[in-house]
Amino acid sequence: MRVVVGQGSCGVATGARKTSAELERLIAADGLGIPVEKTGCVGNCYLEPIVDVYDDDGRLASRYVRVQPEKAGEIVERHLKGGKPVEEMEISQADRRFLDSQKRIVLRNAGLINPESIDAYIEAGGYKAIEKALKGMTPEAVIDEIKISGLRGRGGAGFPTWFKWDAARKNRGASKYMVCNADEGDPGAFMDRSVLEGDPHSLLEGMEIGGYAIGANEGVIYVRAEYPLAIHRLELAIGQARDRGFLGKNLFGTGFDFDIRIKAGAGAFVCGEETALIASLEGERGMPRLKPPFPAEKGFWQQPTNINNVETFANVPWIISSGGAAFGAVGTEKSKGTKVFALAGKIKKGGLVEVPMGLPLRDVIYGIGDGIKNDKEFKAVQMGGPSGGCIPASLIDTPVDYENITKTGAIVGSGGMIVMDETTCMVDMARYFLDFTRKESCGKCNYCRIGTKRMLEILERITSGEGKDGDIELLEELAEKIKDGSMCGLGQTAPNPVLTTIRYFRNEYEDHIYRKKCTAHSCKPLLTFSITEGCTGCTLCSRRCPVEAIRGERRQRHAIDQEKCIKCGKCEESCKFNAILRD
């Protein structure tokens, strides 16, 4: 018997370490001798901390959810000692559906194996694919297998992986590099973090296979510094792989050398762009340069370099083991395989979901995510982060694949899926993303540097009630110019959040500009606070009001002086009777 506690960042944030320590303490106190292990994120982040109990045959006997430290005793007493599952703490049938309706290739091991143990990875079939490739396949055969699979880059652009590998293979250089982009910079996306934390060896193996295919002997993982746990587990994994001879010289006796090192990024969204990432690897400011030459010709230190995203690499061992055709059988005609999405925002069951390409959005949001928090009305889903766009409720039956999502004006992107309800203001969302891209623009291209700033200023004006006639048209004009006048993907896609919100929610822009109203009741300067009949005259709001705008006799309905009101919302927060109306 063994006990496993989910300890990805999300599990840890909900107290999983304390739960794990408490389990260990209780088990030791009773001398039960049952090991307490850790695993990565299984995906049901909303149920953390999650504790799995495996029976002596290694089968999952019970999965316990929301196990705060104080509940650990129950599991030890009744299950570990008493031999009976604690039914009321077990995962419900409905929550089980969250996982059962997924198809897991990238996340095949996440939440199941101990990410800090190479043995656990090997037991799950790990390092078999690299052995197969090295011993029985030529580099060309590996690339062919990837071509058959139809795998496309999971970082955002969706470029065929085999094509990049083939180009890097054909170019000559003194040395070649296989680089992994683990600088997951999209706000609202955490797919890569979960792979890094939950199954780091699958990334190493994928890079190794890629390295063999293109003829590289060195791999570099560019990982963001904001993911300390991911870096820690990667370091452990690399050390273990070296010790076991899965990294280093003469792998599997075939004469192929390959080693991997980690480079911690220092925080710059633009480094998601290949050429900027390379500049950063070289210790420079992460500014992109013109392509061609492409990294496949002149990349890291001017040598042929191939860059793929974490999720792309994590697919590779599975493809080599199971065959490209098996991968190609999943998904749609042009978008093969699965895609991992980070489902978050106003969703009931948020977490990581991996689904076959082509599944309708509705099935993801309602089927797996169980719909909108507090049963509010679904308004839109944001996909692709700052480079993507908002897909409105009317398009909820859109299949999730590269082509269909691009048609909506959004992009599949790296996999962020932020769900929004009726209380989310779409103009404010556009402002939010422009604020992000404006800060992250590296400044090289004028249109991106100055254009995003001007667009942000207009959006700030609109959300603070000072929008004027012609603003929407000006935004549209600027958007086109920025797309045309920027060199890299950051600038070329930065206007997308504005363009999609104008396309689908033009009425909200018009409400802000002409009626001075925010229909989502979110933009504070456009709100009016008033006190309804529900007021009991408790005086709490008038005491909390920082500008003494609320007057009224005790036990009598109060009133807000609109001239004085600064719309801070303190009255609404303090009211215990729901008697403050925001309009």
Partner 1 sequence: MCENCNCRQESDAGFSALAPVIEKYGSARGSLITILQKAQDIYGYLSLDAINYIAAKTGVKPAKIYGVATFYTQFRLAPIGKNLIMLCKGTACHVNGADLIEEAVSEFLGIGDGETTEDGLFTLNNVACLGCCSLAPVMMVKGADGEETFGNLTKDKVKAVLGEIRDKGLEVAV
Where do contacts with partner 1 occur on this chain (CB under 8 A)? 9-10, 12-14, 45-46, 48, 184-190, 193, 225-228, 263-269, 280-286, 301, 342-346, 350-351, 382, 385, 416, 418, 420, 424, 429, 432-433, 436, 440, 442, 573
State the Cα–Cα distance between residues 64 and 85, nearest whole angstrom: 9
* Exposure b/e, 494-529, CB count within 10 A at least 16 = b: bbbbbbbbbebbeebbebbbeeebbbbbbbbebbeb
Distance of CA 246 to the CA centre of its chain: 29
Sign of the alpha-carbon torsion through 140, 142, 146, 148: positive
For residue 174, give Cα distances in angstroms to 297, 307, 341: 12, 18, 38
**Nearest CA to 192 among 9, 326, 440, 366?**
9
Q: Which is nearer to partner 1, 91 or 151 (CB)?
A: 91
Q: Which is nearer to partner 1, 185 or 491 (CB)?
A: 185
Q: Which is nearer to partner 1, 7 or 335 (CB)?
A: 7
DSSP line for 508-549: HHHIIIII---TTS--GGG--EEE-TT-----HHHHH-TT--
**Strand, coil or helix: 66:** coil
Q: From the CB of 424, what's the least distance to partner 1, in Å? A: 6
Residue type, 460: E
Q: Which is nearer to partner 1, 428 or 471 (CB)?
A: 428
**Token pair belonging to 460:** 């700030």
Q: Which is nearer to partner 1, 137 or 520 (CB)?
A: 520
State the Cα–Cα distance between residues 455 and 377, nearest whole angstrom: 29
State the Cα–Cα distance between residues 24 and 16, nearest whole angstrom: 12
Q: From the CB of 282, what's the least distance to partner 1, in Å? A: 4
**Strand, coil or helix: 160:** strand
**Token pair belonging to 428:** 């404010």
Q: Which is nearer to partner 1, 10 or 204 (CB)?
A: 10
Q: From the CB of 336, what's the least distance to partner 1, in Å? A: 26
Q: From the CB of 145, what's the least distance to partner 1, in Å? A: 32
DSSP conformational letter for 233:
H
Q: Which is nearer to partner 1, 225 or 474 (CB)?
A: 225
State the Cα–Cα distance between residues 413 and 384, nearest whole angstrom: 4
Q: Quick one: which H or E segment has residue 165? A: helix 161-170
Peptide bond connecting 497 to the previous residue in cis, omega within 30 degrees of 0: no
Peptide bond connecting 360 to the previous residue in cis, omega within 30 degrees of 0: no
Q: Which is nearer to partner 1, 120 or 430 (CB)?
A: 430
Q: Which is nearer to partner 1, 245 or 569 (CB)?
A: 569
Strand order in the sheet with 256-265: 248-251, 256-265, 218-224, 177-182, 305-309
Sign of the alpha-carbon torsion through 192, 104, 362, 333: positive
Q: What are phi and psi of 274, to 5 degrees?
A: -50, -50
Q: From the CB of 441, what's the least distance to partner 1, in Å? A: 12
* Exposure b/e, 251-290, CB count within 10 A at least 16 = b: beeeebebbbebbbbeebbbbbbbbbbbbbbeeeebbbee
Q: From the CB of 153, what's the least distance to partner 1, in Å? A: 20
**Are 1 and 80 in contact, with CB atoms under 8 Å apart?**
yes
Q: Which is nearer to partner 1, 185 or 451 (CB)?
A: 185
